[in-house]
Structure 1
């Protein structure tokens, strides 16, 4: 657990000023409360000792006035600083996690569920706030308070300091003592939350198919089972938290009883010290009340960190070179003796594949489903790496180039190209963030969809809807094509670009492709040709090799 939490703190290095500032202000706010009750206790004890308000008692009570004003200000500043630090640290963590996922899942989610990853980037990251807000901050404040109480009571009498401060010091040990057991319970809660989220998200992603198969009853049953499991795991974690709270309260009460016992056993002279001990024990009890929850917070943060790092530490499918070579000047593609399988226990997709695409060439790559057409696109984009052979770009092995450099020269229009729930302009600028509106309109013109966009009331600012739901299949494909055309990449892979379109729309779209991609090297991946594509070379993928098409 400690290793995981230290790694989380290392992710927050850039925010250490905010984090340390919040801890210091929290400690000062807690000490202000101790000072306030210490002065009150001193004033009362002086009054009891002399049976009248002495100058010392009056002075102590007068000093209370600025502290009464200072303490709420300090508490406000504490909340402001600690929450600002937490929000900044969690935002950094989400960005870090997203970048790690982008490196490790370039070809898609694969076997990871969308609901599971959503839970990790939202719920598990949020659980990390407990490490700082509910563990480190109250822990630092509690240590400062216990030390202050021990020093103040030590001046009044070592025995009084022992009977009051020792139970309070024991309360400081509750978080590390509770955390291991609570960590196991929190890990089970995090796992159950992931199952519940998957049970809720997966049916919604395929809602139409689920309803068509009358599967809503089964989906509801699965959701109920996941909810019941989560409730049981949360109950177990809550039970541990309750025991921790009871233990903390018991130790605080022991400090109060110790102060009372000291006064009763010590005679008249000890009464004044006992009153001071009572006041300080009350001051400490307020701060220490948060410590039992700190153990549960540490456990939840550790469980969240475990799930985050589990996904973030997955080895990337293609290792980046330690020292990437400079990008090549040309963009001719050559594949030599390529052998590739998605897993050691699966049959190879390619076995001795050879292929050439000169600059400006237009290659049509045909084959049935499963022949490896889309796999070849993943290899060319460096989203996967061959087990044997090599792929060169401009005469350089792409293994020596960074993935970003390869994808700056090779763009792809995938068969399931997605439009995101943002404006048309924002969707287009994914390929060229600095592109102006004029460039966007030119790309839309070349894709044959500019008139459709101009007819919309908001034009380029029209939102596409989730998955491009605002547009028909053909319109969405053309907007996705415009995005691909905005890329300056000289090589364009068109992976089943007309998938899902009716025959008329398919022919019209392919005719648009022919004119829109002039001047680029093109690899057209398809099941068949309609006769409008006009490639310079046609190959068929058969048995893991590229065979020239006949006739």
Structure 2
């Protein structure tokens, strides 16, 4: 979870978050504005309908007909039509805007995920992608639109009743200001901290459920299902408690809102009795009464919207801050294209994931010549995979330089660098799709012959040909319909398909048995003779064909062997 910030920093963070969200929504600004116009027109028609209907009732009771039924029918039909158009249009616009925000979120997340999701929980990422972004739906529909309507309603009360009796108009407008602006503001302040707790509580529950589902086999094996279920129920109970407390606070403020409306009606009744406010015609009294009742009906949702504001603010910071804390995420990308030459050099490079974590590398110096086959060997957790993240420009060193073809990596665009490097991670994912679609991730415009060539180089073409549907065979989630060795070979074929001159293999035989592991490296020995191959492993099998071995020591200094 994010750490608590001082008020000034937190205020700036929230401001920056909303600025980014509105930037993402910028292509929809005209549609969002038009939705506001539709909403205000529907509101105006509703206020006019109720006001004139009240006045017509009063005039009819007095035997006078000054307002035709045709006008009321026109206002009623117009309000119904505009309310339908407004709801349909604004929700459709918001659906598109939220869809764009999810695309932006996924795109932003991917920039920091090439080396994994770092130190974050998958359940937390899922919560940001689903719950937090859904919460932001209320920013436009439940806050912006209603408060714009509240401003218009306040002016209508002040002007409409002011033309009849100015002191009465000021009194009712003041009460409306308390109910429509002050109470929602108080609701937002009171529930702001609890909104953060609610958002994080939902994320914590998702993390727990996600972990429970993924570890279900181990939970059953160790017979701890009851204990884990009790833990989830505790988290759920805490979340419900926070929901209850927030609802209780909002209910208390809603009572003040309701009271303001009742006092406003009381003032009009006093005017009807010629008390406090004098010399107001009966028809005007009814006009003011209907207008006031209609206006104050919209204040209760405003108070609830104020309570939602705390959750929206925290959801905004969580969505925009998806890569917060990811080293190098905010560093500006280079402008130059990667050079044709692909020799790699680390010069006095220092790197740590965060200030509170130990240095991974200090003054690292290493040269990998173009076309060499090298191995980076060391125990788990010592920082081997970090090299892949550095080469792919997912993270950047705190000091020193990384050169590609003699050019500083920081001066090169990330896209051009990644076109030079094909990466096979230790947790390469096979999508729940066909073999063909999984391969095309490596090269979307690959031909049928290129797909089979890549499969042949990975020594899995015969296996795919033997399958009933060939390239169109469905792999299932995570490639469960094929063996682990076959899955790694398909992943290798996808990597080879890119034709990148540098091939980085990060623990490529993870999860394979000894025989399959040897077969994999024997296949690797036969391919990519014109490529630079960087093999990242925690031990060597003895069958790898290598030009050089770099071994990571406990001091994180690399020595050549």
| Residue among 15, 18, 23 paired with 1:3 | 15
The 1-side partners of 2:402 and 2:73 are apart by 78
Give the secondary structure class of the aligned counterpart of 1:434. coil
CA 310–534 in structure 1, closer or farther in 2 if over 3 Å, else same: closer
The 2-side partners of 1:410 and 1:264 are apart by 85
**Structure 2 partner of 1:62:** 70
Alignment of structure 1 residues 39-78 onto 2, 5 Å: 39-48=52-61, 51-54=62-65, 56-57=66-67, 59=68, 61-78=69-86
Instruction: Tell whether 2:512 aligns with 1:504.
Output: no
Higher mean alpha-carbon deviation, 171-180 vs 89-98, is at: 89-98
**Structure 1 partner of 2:221:** 212
Contact 1:318-1:382 within 8 A present in 2 as well? no
Contact 2:178-2:260 within 8 A present in 1 as well? yes
**Structure 2 partner of 1:111:** 119
**Structure 1 partner of 2:233:** 224
Q: What is the alpha-carbon root mean square deviation over aligned residues?
A: 2.7
Alignment of structure 1 residues 181-200 onto 2, 5 Å: 181-200=190-209
| Residue among 300, 314, 327 paired with 1:303 | 314
**Structure 1 partner of 2:5:** none
**Structure 2 partner of 1:252:** 261
**Structure 2 partner of 1:126:** 134
CA 510–293 in structure 1, closer or farther in 2 if over 3 Å, else same: same
Higher mean alpha-carbon deviation, 115-124 vs 143-152, is at: 143-152
**Structure 2 partner of 1:432:** 443
Alignment of structure 1 residues 5-20 onto 2, 5 Å: 6-7=18-19, 8-20=21-33
Instruction: Tell whether 2:48 aligns with 1:35.
Output: yes
Instruction: Tell whether 2:137 aligns with 1:102.
Output: no
Shift of 1:393: 1.4
Give the secondary structure class of the aligned counterpart of 1:176. helix
**Structure 1 partner of 2:287:** 276
**Structure 2 partner of 1:477:** 488
The 1-side partners of 2:544 and 2:420 are apart by 22
TM-score, reference length from structure 1:
0.90
CA 403–272 in structure 1, closer or farther in 2 if over 3 Å, else same: same
CA 71–329 in structure 1, closer or farther in 2 if over 3 Å, else same: same
**Structure 2 partner of 1:177:** 186
Higher mean alpha-carbon deviation, 153-162 vs 127-136, is at: 153-162
Shift of 1:133: 0.8
List per-residue Cα deviations over 1:512-546 (Å, max 9, x = no partner).
22223232121223344445432233444445445
| Residue among 413, 434, 445 paired with 2:424 | 413
Higher mean alpha-carbon deviation, 365-374 vs 354-363, is at: 365-374
Shift of 1:413: 1.2
**Structure 1 partner of 2:156:** 148
Give the secondary structure class of the aligned counterpart of 1:39. helix
Contact 2:333-2:410 within 8 A present in 1 as well? no
Shift of 1:477: 0.2
CA 545–289 in structure 1, closer or farther in 2 if over 3 Å, else same: closer
Shift of 1:490: 0.3
CA 319–144 in structure 1, closer or farther in 2 if over 3 Å, else same: closer
Contact 1:90-1:129 within 8 A present in 2 as well? yes
List per-residue Cα deviations over 1:309-328 (Å, max 9, x = no partner).
44444354366456533321
Instruction: Tell whether 2:40 aligns with 1:23.
Output: no
Contact 1:264-1:271 within 8 A present in 2 as well? no
Higher mean alpha-carbon deviation, 161-170 vs 242-251, is at: 161-170
Higher mean alpha-carbon deviation, 108-117 vs 459-468, is at: 459-468
**Structure 1 partner of 2:166:** 158
The 2-side partners of 1:370 and 1:3 are apart by 38
Give the secondary structure class of the aligned counterpart of 2:189. helix
CA 481–33 in structure 1, closer or farther in 2 if over 3 Å, else same: same
List per-residue Cα deviations over 1:6-45 (Å, max 9, x = no partner).
4343442222112111111111101111111222122223
The 2-side partners of 1:286 and 1:428 are apart by 58
Gaps of 5+ in 1: none
Contact 1:179-1:295 within 8 A present in 2 as well? yes
Shift of 1:106: 3.7
Shift of 1:139: 1.5
Shift of 1:63: 0.6
